[in-house]
Amino acid sequence: MSDHLDSRLFADIARYAAARRAGDAERRHAPEASYAEQVERFQIALKDEGRPGDEVIRELIALAEPGLATMTGPRFFGWVIGGSNPIAVAADWLTSIWGQNTANHLATPSASAAEEACRQALLDLFDLPRESSIGFSTGATMASFTCLAAARGEVLRRAGWDIEAEGMFGAPPVTIVLGEEAHSTIFAGLKYLGFGERNMVRVAVDRNGAMIAGAFAEAMECVAGPVIAIAQAGHINTGAFDPFGELARVVKARSAWLHIDGAFGLWARATPTHRHLGEGLELADSWSVDGHKWLQTPYDCAYAIVKDRAAHARSMQIAASYLPSSSDDARNPSDYVPELSRRARGFATWTMIRRLGRRGIAEMVTRHCAQARLFAQKLAMVPGVTIMNEVVLNQLVVHFGSDAQTKAVIARVQADGVCFVGGAEWRGKQVMRISVINENTTEDDVARSAAAMLAAWDAVRRAN
């Protein structure tokens, strides 16, 4: 059975897509159905006979919808979830329609050129060293992994060890120095690279979760041998930035490597209002940042930025006689990411940068930070509600009365469905976490959501 081009099917999907997005603002933001219910519903894939394609697509929609969260909605504040802009979705559709295997530049000049254009634009936007290479990865987790692989190879090379030839066994021990509140995905990347807890030195952080520069300097003094330091631009709970200038000075003196996890926070560099938070981060050696968070591209989209292109390519390059190699003037996409075959991630990124321009990006990021402060103002007015962090960016964490009450408020807000927020533990307390990062969020959405949170708090307080 082969499915011919069915323009009716594509037209139907386009109509459905427009209606689905038009409904985002007023749809419940939490899913209706549970995971267990959805597992039951989806268990019908394998039958002896196939079914007509258009029926299967209709079936997929009917089955999936109850178990979908409105993550693209304007009042979805859980985790750090971008809005998946419709123009970028259109570019993403074209990416699938064109079906380019974006491994190398000879096979697909356009997909490779889009990445090269985005590389230059992103380095300009973030004001990072213009010679840096960028790998287009699935997310910041893989972007950090990629950057840290380059770091591992380079710090060992400086210690006289060729990891490509000798491997990890018997190599000089590498120490990882990082903040006590580094993002969990950093530890995942380190695990894939062969580093464990014993290879890490944790540095104390201040009240907002940023590394203390003095503590970092002390930690660096106490370690011998090759070092990779990891800092963050945008703490997952507070949005805090580490003191990069001071960290970078210490790192340079040791000829160590400094990586910065800037999954969402790096975008502050693209604004006049919040750029100062990231002062000095240009002195680092590598940076990871997502497109599918603040740039509003659909998943999967992130950037592994490495100042030393040779170190980056050494750690990722795939060589085979049937694959064209890259040269200084022709960038092979697969030289900078773990994958060979993959989608053309540059098209959606190119589209969003072109659509918003420098000013559009800056205004959006600045607006979200103002909306986060508005949330803090509205919530902090009410007795029993505590904003736990200094709101420096777009993230805030809120405590309601006690840990149990905070959990109850989160559950009520989710059940109510007007907005969506999740919980976390921070500084030994249960908190509600709010991330403002969807381009469609308005001040009215903030007001409605704050009202829903306060109504939930009122109900929880009365019940106790």
Ligand X SMILES: *Cc1c(COP(=O)(O)O)cnc(C)c1O
Which residues are at the interface with ligand X (CB under 6 A)?
A: 80, 139-141, 183, 185, 232, 234, 236, 261, 263-264, 290, 302
The C-alpha atoms of residue 332 and residue 326 are separated, in whole angstroms, by 5
Q: In DSSP terms, which residues pair with 259 in a beta bridge?
A: 230, 286
Least distance (Å) from ligand X to the CB of residue 234?
A: 5
Cβ pair 235, 228 in contact under 8 A: no
Least distance (Å) from ligand X to the CB of residue 185?
A: 4
> Nearer Cβ to ligand X, position 9 or 187?
187
Which long-range contacts (C-beta less than 8 Å, at least 24 apart) are formed by 59-63? 61/16, 63/38
- Cβ contacts of 119 within 8 Å, gap of 6 or more: 132, 133, 134, 331
> Nearer Cβ to ligand X, position 139 or 333?
139
Cβ pair 237, 389 in contact under 8 A: yes
Least distance (Å) from ligand X to the CB of residue 458?
A: 31
> Nearer Cβ to ligand X, position 365 or 454?
365
> Nearer Cβ to ligand X, position 290 or 439?
290
The string of DSSP letters for 175-187 reads EEEEETT--HHHH
Choose among 272, 261, 236, 267: nearest CA to 349: 267
The reply to whether omega before 3 is within 30° of 0 (cis) is no
Strand order in the sheet with 422-426: 385-387, 395-400, 429-435, 422-426
Least distance (Å) from ligand X to the CB of residue 286?
A: 14
Least distance (Å) from ligand X to the CB of residue 257?
A: 18
Least distance (Å) from ligand X to the CB of residue 422?
A: 13
- Cβ contacts of 3 within 8 Å, gap of 6 or more: 53
> Nearer Cβ to ligand X, position 250 or 266?
266
> Nearer Cβ to ligand X, position 216 or 241?
241
The string of DSSP letters for 36-81 reads HHHHHHHTT---SS---HHHHHHHHHHHHGGG---TTSTTB-STT-
- Packed helices 140-158 and 309-316: angle between N→C axes, nearest 10 degrees: 110
Least distance (Å) from ligand X to the CB of residue 186?
A: 7
Residue owning tokens 């079936």: 59
> Nearer Cβ to ligand X, position 72 or 185?
185
> Nearer Cβ to ligand X, position 74 or 234?
234
SS3 content of the chain, % helix, strand, coil (to 5): 45, 15, 40
Least distance (Å) from ligand X to the CB of residue 395?
A: 9
Task: Tell me the residue nearest to ligand X as measured from the CB.
Answer: 139
> Nearer Cβ to ligand X, position 140 or 379?
140
**Within 10 Å of residue 204's Cβ, how many Cβ atoms?**
14
Least distance (Å) from ligand X to the CB of residue 338?
A: 13
Cβ pair 138, 380 in contact under 8 A: no
Least distance (Å) from ligand X to the CB of residue 438?
A: 14
> Nearer Cβ to ligand X, position 232 or 430?
232
